[in-house]
Amino acid sequence: MSQVKDMILVIRIGQRSFYQSTLTVDFQLLAKYERITILLTLSLKGCRSLGHYGTNCSIPCPQNCLNGVCDINGDCPGCVVGYKGRTCNEGVHLDSKYYII
């Protein structure tokens, strides 16, 4: 009887997950081999010019994204001081003032 298990493949760069998939693996079948090589094709999608996102890379990143960069969905990897949220559009309390766009 084979031991089929699901493995989750996650590709991360820094703190961000870029790809996740579930692979079904038969470990009993793999145990017959001394060495196993798994080849993956990784296709990175994104815009060549920083500061834009979207299908045609024509949408500017939100203005409060740290260093003016965002991912392909328009989410910011970090925010400038005074903002938070996926798109850095939420003002945060800072020295008794609220910063709101």
| Full pLDDT tens readout for the chain, 101 residues | 556 666 666 666 666 655 566 667 776 766 677 676 666 676 666 788 889 998 888 999 999 999 999 988 899 999 999 899 999 999 887 665 554 44
Please tell me the total count of domains within the chain.
2
**Domain of 29?**
1-44
Planar angle of CA 96, 100, 101, nearest 5 degrees:
155
pTM for this structure? 0.51
Q: Do 97 and 75 belong together in one domain?
A: yes
Confidence at residue 101, expressed as pLDDT on a 0 to 100 scale: 47
End-of-domain residue from the set 44, 63, 78: 44
Residues 25, 69: one domain? no
